[in-house]
Amino acid sequence: MPALTRELYFTTSTVVDWMDVFTRPLYKHIVVESLEFCQANKGLDIYAWVLMTNHLHMIVGVRGDNTIGDVLRDFKKFTSKSIILSIQENIQESRQKWMLDRCSFRAANDKKVASYKFWQEDNHVEQIYTHDFYRQKLEYIHQNPVRQEIVERAEDYLYSSARNYAGMSGLLNVIVAR
């Protein structure tokens, strides 16, 4: 594990109503590309991550002047707009009306959102203070697709850092720290 001389966080971001949006590669890649942008431009260091059908778990740190709250806010704002636009433009999306209706309904009661609310308000951020807590969250993240019976082995799930930790190429560059 990295020395705890810097702050690391376990985060969870969840789609409103736990909608299974991330069953389509189109929407998953918006998240991956946005995380790459945050790494390159916002000082986001990713130690572990997994994108499930309706939520994203990460272990992250932030370099520079941004806080974890700043990075997550910007990430969620951008991905929300991009994913909603993709749903609107994707005429092949069989769940289009239902998903847009759910996001519109959730926005109706939120003064900060104009038309659609994609992510739940809470980021669920926990600061990591100990090596044991880090290891527990790392295992939890990587075993999530196995527990959901999406894959048999964690490293077989493409949208996870388990690949990086198994010595394979992953979709995102991560800091491998055990």
pLDDT in tens, 110-145: 777 779 999 998 889 999 999 999 999 999 999 999
Tens digits of residue pLDDT in 14-68: 999 999 999 999 999 999 999 999 999 999 999 999 999 999 999 999 998 999 9
Cα dist from 114 to 30, 97, 102, 124, whole Å: 21, 18, 14, 23
Give the per-residue pLDDT at 16: 95
* Band of residue 2 on the pLDDT scale cut at 50, 70, 90: low
Domain count, the chain: 1
* Nearest C-alpha neighbor of 72 from the set 56, 50, 51, 87: 56
* Band of residue 12 on the pLDDT scale cut at 50, 70, 90: very high
Tens digits of residue pLDDT in 64-121: 899 999 999 999 999 999 999 999 998 889 999 999 999 999 888 777 777 999 999 8
Structure tokens at 106: 């959730």
Mean pLDDT of 7-17: 96
Lowest mean pLDDT among 4-8, 127-131, 151-155: 4-8
* E strands, the chain, in order: 8-14, 44-51, 55-62, 125-128
Diameter of the chain measured on Cα atoms = 49
16 is a domain residue: yes
70 is a domain residue: yes
19 is a domain residue: yes
Q: Which residue has the higher pLDDT, 173 or 5?
A: 173
Range of the domain at 139: 8-75+118-165
Give the per-residue pLDDT at 5: 47
125 is a domain residue: yes
Q: Which residue has the higher pLDDT, 6 or 13?
A: 13
Residue 44: which CATH number?
3.30.70.1290
2 is a domain residue: no
Residue 1 burial (C-beta neighbours within 10 Å; 0-12, 13-18, 19+): middle
User: Which residue bears the tokens 């932030």?
Assistant: 62
